[in-house]
Chain A
């Protein structure tokens, strides 16, 4: 078996007495979509924040491409190949759509220290940005102000920015959140094709999307992974059903 692109080993994070992440070990292999599901407050966002470097775990290890990145910051991990999208769109709302993807391109090329050269005249940056917009279907909206976009389009833009980075692994925090049925369907088919480019660690509430996309699913409850398996295994798991629907009491 090939090595995982991204893995956590016995990750732990507590806030006072609350164990938000309790001994979590997950991995992400090339070409797969690994979904993490769980009820509200299960610790999904805390887990993502640790994987992306925004929170320091109390114990455990995070590896990216076999390298221990546990003690590095967000910046280093982004450079090392984590392409992240946010649950609540974190975009420069006053800027145009194109400027937002250009930012990704500037980050990917790693050259923000040019002061007198117009960013739009840089062919490499422009083509990277434009390609990403085309792929998510926003090329017609390049000149629009981001705050004027619909919620769904903002989600697409989030993905487009991550695309410009050509990451080794995508980490997506509820990309479907707030999308209508149609938008959710479009994004699902897009993400479906994306896995060949880089594997996706997908935190998602939209179960239709998760069941349609995921190669493997991990179920997180009270900070613990109670089950990891294929869609069918998770569907038929008693533990999962109990966690979601409650046991008979």
Chain B
């Protein structure tokens, strides 16, 4: 058994070491893979706040991932075509600045999470899963029919967006941005889990009745967690679109929601670095097995089955044992 905090450190060091190794050996594709893993991890860290801490099994997190993606796509598309996003009642110009795009992605996905959460949180259990799935699908079909932004074909962005002082087209630079954001969000996640809010949310998942009798509203706690979760997944969506320089309705699809959930469950629900481990393993399998067969998901399915059956705490739980309440 390795203590979880050491394991977390090890995972992050490895995720940093691989692209550095690739940089020295001039293998830019490996850097791109690591970047992909870091972005998926970020999306899953977002879901982990809702799922792990709040117990909210959302099968609609692709909505936030996609909103983040389209926030980037739309702003960058207008910047590259020199057209305003809208003119009435006031003019909004497109932009190629990453920080502004991130902010827009987080605000829009947070707003969507607030609205979706307000409705979805009236339900629990399987109904909650279905209603979040339904919202995700609504966004999916909306994006398909949104011809102005490519409809089914999606939107291509020719040049990666700018970050002050960095050439973002250099793979290692873009990896550095994504990795830094991941670490920052993990740090914040760690703080939130130990805060009064985290404590109350954790209890709201396990014993909502108890939370009420101490005068706290479990629904409101869960709603805030859902919004926080949506904001982070939205940020990941913007980065993902920037990595590919392309957005399409696929980002909104329920398979995307499922994959984000798989990262969390594979790595370990409610474990700080569970989503990171899950995303890294996923990208590794995708890369290693994807070359062998188009149907590599069969192996992923088998692995997921094993983890769910024999390692309830996910891969992190398998290595570090059950969670220590406050380390």
CB contact under 8 A between A95 and B203, given known A90-B209, A90-B210, A119-B194: yes
Asked whether any CB of chain B lies closer than 8 Å to the CB of A115, the reply is yes
Q: How far is the CA of A111 from the CA of B207 in the complex (A)?
A: 19
CB contact under 8 A between A52 and B213, given known A116-B188, A122-B196: yes
CB contact under 8 A between A110 and B194, given known A90-B210, A95-B202: no
User: What are the residues of chain B within 8 A of A79 when measuring CB–CB?
Assistant: 215
Number of A-B contacts (CB under 8 A): 115
Q: How far is the CA of A112 from the CA of B200 in the complex (A)?
A: 7
CB contact under 8 A between A115 and B210, given known A95-B325, A96-B325: no
User: What are the residues of chain A within 8 A of B215 when measuring CB–CB?
Assistant: 75, 78-79, 107-108, 110, 165
- Which of A54, A83, A93, A100 lies at the interface centre, i.e. has the most chain B CB atoms within 10 A of its CB? A100
CB contact under 8 A between A125 and B196, given known A92-B210, A115-B191: yes
A164 to chain B, nearest CB (A): 8
B232 to chain A, nearest CB (A): 13
A103 touches B191 (CB 8 A): no
Asked whether any CB of chain B lies closer than 8 Å to the CB of A246, the reply is no
Asked whether any CB of chain B lies closer than 8 Å to the CB of A118, the reply is yes
Q: Which residues in chain A, 66-100, are within 8 Å of chain B measured between CB atoms?
A: 74-75, 78-79, 82-84, 86, 90-96, 99-100
Asked whether any CB of chain A lies closer than 8 Å to the CB of B221, the reply is yes
A120 touches B326 (CB 8 A): yes
Asked whether any CB of chain B lies closer than 8 Å to the CB of A113, the reply is yes
Interface residues on A, range: 35 or more
Asked whether any CB of chain A lies closer than 8 Å to the CB of B217, the reply is yes
User: What are the residues of chain B within 8 A of A103 when measuring CB–CB?
Assistant: 199-200, 203, 210-211, 214, 216
Asked whether any CB of chain B lies closer than 8 Å to the CB of A161, the reply is yes
CB contact under 8 A between A94 and B206, given known A110-B215, A116-B192: yes
Asked whether any CB of chain B lies closer than 8 Å to the CB of A117, the reply is yes
Interface residues on B, range: 20 to 34
Interface majority SS (helix, strand, loop, mixed), chain A: mixed
CB contact under 8 A between A112 and B221, given known A107-B216, A120-B326, A161-B210: yes
B195 touches A118 (CB 8 A): yes
Q: Which of B199, B206, B209 contacts A119, CB < 8 Å?
A: B199
Q: Which of A91, A116, A118, A145 contacts B325, CB < 8 Å?
A: A145
Q: Which of B191, B200, B207, B217 contacts A75, CB < 8 Å?
A: B217
What residues of chain B have their CB less than 8 Å away from a CB belonging to chain A? 188, 191-192, 194-200, 202-203, 206-207, 209-217, 221, 224, 323, 325-326
User: What are 19 A-B residue pairs whose CB atoms fall within 8 Å in the complex?
Assistant: A74-B212, A78-B215, A95-B203, A99-B203, A102-B199, A103-B200, A103-B210, A106-B196, A107-B211, A107-B214, A108-B215, A112-B196, A114-B196, A115-B198, A117-B191, A117-B195, A119-B195, A119-B196, A165-B214
What residues of chain A have their CB less than 8 Å away from a CB belonging to chain B? 52, 54, 74-75, 78-79, 82-84, 86, 90-96, 99-100, 102-104, 106-108, 110-120, 122, 125, 145, 161, 164-165
